[in-house]
Structure formats: C-alpha cells, structure tokens
Amino acid sequence: MIKSYKLRRHLSNALIYIILGVMCIIWVMPFVYLVLHSLRLDGGVIDNGALLPKQFTFKHYIDLFAGNAPSGSGAATLYFPQWFLNTFVVACFSCVISTLSVLMVSYAFSRLRFGARKKLMNIAMILGMFPGFMTMIAMYYLLKIMHLDGTLVALVLCYSCGAGLGFQISKGFFDTIPRALDEAATIDGATKNQIFWKIILPMSKPIVVYTVLTSFIGPWTDFILAKIIMGDDTSKYTVAIGLQKMISAEFRSSYFQQFMAGSVVVAVPITLLFLKMQKYYVEGVTAGGVKG
C-alpha cells in the first residue's frame, strides 16, 4: 500500500516535471530564437527555412551602433544610437521628476491628515480609470500650443506629469511604518519636513529603489505617446517606436535583423533592472507586513 502511494507520488511528480519543463521551453524559446537570429549571418526576414542559423556574426550589432544602413536599402534613415541616447536622457529626467512626485504625494496621503485628503485620493482613483489614450490627442495639441511638440522636453513632461497618480504602492508601504516613530520625532521637535527626509525616506529604501526603477523603465517601453509627439521625425524617436518602425512594411525586409539585435540590446538591461526592481518590490511589500 505504502509502496504504491510512493510510486504514485513519484509518478505525479515526474509528470509535473515534464509539464513544467515543456512550459519553460515554450516560454523561453521565443527569446532564444530572438538572440540566435540576431546573430545570424545572412540577412533578411527568413533564413531559408532553417530555424537554427548556420553561421553567426556580430555584424548586426555593430551596424546597429554604428548606424550603418543594412545592405540593400538606401541611405540610413534609422539611427539607433541616437534613439538610445534620446531614451536615456528622457528616462533620466523623467525618473527624477516622477520619483520625487510619487514619494511626495504618497507621503502626504499616508502620513499627513488634512481636509481634502480623502477627496483628492478619490479624484486620483477616478482619473486613473479613464482610458489613457483618450487624452493623448488633447495632450498633443496642448504641447503644440506650448511649441513643445516634437521635442524631448515634451516627452519628459508627459512621462513625469501624471506620475503623482501612481502613489498607491509607496503609500501602502508608508502606511506600514509605525506612527509611533513620527510621534516620537514630533515630541523631539522635528517638523513634518524633517520627518519625511530624515526618518521616513531612509527607512523606505526598497520602495524608493522600486519607484526609481519603474519610472526609469517607463520611457523605454512606451511606444504610443512618443509616436504621437514625434510624428515622422525619426531622429527624435525613442527605442520602442524606433524598433517598431524597423519592422513596419517599409523597412522590414532590410532592417529585420537589426530589429532583432536592437530588441536584445534593449531587453537585456531592462530585464536585469526589472529583476532587481522585483527584488526590492517583494522586500518592500513583505518588510511592511512584518512590522505590523
């Protein structure tokens, strides 16, 4: 009886290993394909019916960063290094502004008590429920009136202005820091400002890192807003819309492999940052729970 039970367990475990293994392959395969084919020697969309490339080269990566047009296409109109730089600059600026606004808003909602608090939080919740694309056209005209359309400043503004609305997670974290700390500091004569900078922020490292990373990653992955603001001016593109441009009908046949290489170049750092962020997120959320 016991033996059969053990056997059954072994069997079921083996089955689970097989299923999980197959699933892992399905989930990871497309990325393996991406990396392999970004290294494939002969150009074009398809390697004549072969899933596994036969010869490898770093040519596409070099072309990508040197801004060389692939053979068979005209002048280089797509310039990846410029896109990379654009995105990096935008990401840095919007990261600073967004992080500050998110932390300020969440501290105010979490630790300060004032009349309009509940109302403002409800308004923020309602604003978040409108589909984001609805306002983009209006935003574009607004930027046009300010003569900012087609500039990187406009992108920074767009990415960071609404950041204050995403306060929920860090507010949740601040909520879990014991209030006794604030009270003790107040008795010692600290102002709310000092409490924020000297007590709450140093205690909130995981959530601060999490906020910094999310707002840094944002501009790298957005592909709608940037496209509306930049229009056809490819020199101002960010990597996301640039890569999308590479596989548009016009460029796909010649730029396909640079697209693959570019995807790898963008995906690797963001993946690493995300994994780091995930760690801090988990740390932030669980650390809060234990303190209660």
Q: Does 18 bind other proteins (CB under 8 A)?
A: no
Q: Does 51 bind other proteins (CB under 8 A)?
A: yes
Q: Does 226 bind other proteins (CB under 8 A)?
A: no
Which residue, 41 or 272, is less far from other proteins as judged by CB?
272
Residue 40 backbone phi and psi in degrees, to 5: -70, 145
Among 56, 77, 135, 153, binds other proteins (CB under 8 A): 135
- In whole angstroms, how close is the CB of 26 to other proteins at the nearest point? 7
- In whole angstroms, how close is the CB of 133 to other proteins at the nearest point? 5
- In whole angstroms, how close is the CB of 130 to other proteins at the nearest point? 5
Instruction: Report CA 87 to chain centroid distance, whole Å.
Output: 12
Amino acid making up residue 41: L
Report 65-124 residues binding other proteins (CB under 8 A). 101, 104-105, 107-108, 112, 114, 117, 120
Candidate segments 58-66, 85-93, 127-135, 198-206, binder of other proteins by CB under 8 A = 127-135
Among 2, 75, 126, 249, binds other proteins (CB under 8 A): 126
Q: Does 138 bind other proteins (CB under 8 A)?
A: yes
Among 73, 172, 234, 283, binds other proteins (CB under 8 A): 172
Task: Give the tokens for residue 204.
Answer: 């909130």
| Residue among 232, 215, 271, 265 nearest 78 (CA) | 232
| Residue among 65, 88, 136, 94 nearest 238 (CA) | 88
Among 68, 88, 201, 223, binds other proteins (CB under 8 A): 223
CA distance 121 to 131: 18
Q: Does 217 bind other proteins (CB under 8 A)?
A: yes
Q: Please answer whether residues 195 and 182 qualify as being in contact, where contact means their C-beta atoms are separated by less than 8 angstroms.
A: yes
Which residue, 81 or 178, is less far from other proteins as judged by CB?
178
- In whole angstroms, how close is the CB of 84 to other proteins at the nearest point? 14
Q: Please answer whether residues 241 and 234 qualify as being in contact, where contact means their C-beta atoms are separated by less than 8 angstroms.
A: no
Distances 35 to 60, 61, 198, 241 between C-alpha atoms, Å: 12, 11, 46, 20
Q: Does 161 bind other proteins (CB under 8 A)?
A: yes
- In whole angstroms, how close is the CB of 45 to other proteins at the nearest point? 6
- In whole angstroms, how close is the CB of 7 to other proteins at the nearest point? 14
**Could you tell me where the DSSP H helices lie in 69-178?**
80-111, 117-129, 133-145, 152-161, 168-176
Q: Is 56 helix (H, G, I), strand (E, B) or coil?
A: strand
Number of residues near other proteins (by CB under 8 A): 89
CA distance 136 to 132: 7
CA distance 261 to 36: 10
Report 140-159 residues binding other proteins (CB under 8 A). 141-142, 145, 157-158
Instruction: Report CA 180 to chain centroid distance, whole Å.
Output: 36
Candidate segments 59-67, 82-90, 130-138, 205-213, binder of other proteins by CB under 8 A = 130-138
Q: Please answer whether residues 185 and 199 qualify as being in contact, where contact means their C-beta atoms are separated by less than 8 angstroms.
A: yes
